Structure 1
């Protein structure tokens, strides 16, 4: 079994809300093993807090009234990973405010600016 990618908790801004893997599993209606597989498959990224794996709440939303991974999140991760960025670099960028938009990419995933974040990720990666 491959190791589960994670970054240190000091990369998240103070006060960033997270879910543990049990909460994500329950919300998605899958097992915790499936959540760990999503991490291994790089469809999610996480941090370690107090020895547990936590995933920022901003990476989730609702689709058709059901808890799910934010609509554009996995695509954004793919662009950044394919561009050679490591998980810690991705996590920093996701929570770094974009001066011209007054918000961080992770926050903008839930707005009309989500596609703009993907375009910016593409331009950074290539």
Structure 2
């Protein structure tokens, strides 16, 4: 018995190459691109903060100057209010003390010629 063994041989031209490398798709930008983006974003943020600080400083300056210019008006308004309250107090005093003989309206009961503004305001 003659047995011929036939050995398997590679195909003509050889087998195709075995792929052993990982074939992963690119997932997002590179580290350098991310670093550049974060740097640009931080630079823009610092720019906006700086501009906001400049605007806040300008608004504060404007507020201070408006208060400086309003002080005379507020003082005059306070003086008018104090004058009106003093006249009303004198009118009340005259009405209350009309039956008292030798009573001078507005004259101080103290023997001090210096003017003192009333420290207490009683609103009735």
Q: Same fold (TM over 0.5)?
A: no
**What TM-score do you get using the length of structure 1 for normalisation?**
0.21
**What TM-score do you get using the length of structure 2 for normalisation?**
0.21
Considering fraction of residues, name the structure with more strand: 1
Considering fraction of residues, name the structure with more helix: 2
Who wins on radius of gyration, i.e. which is larger?
A: 2
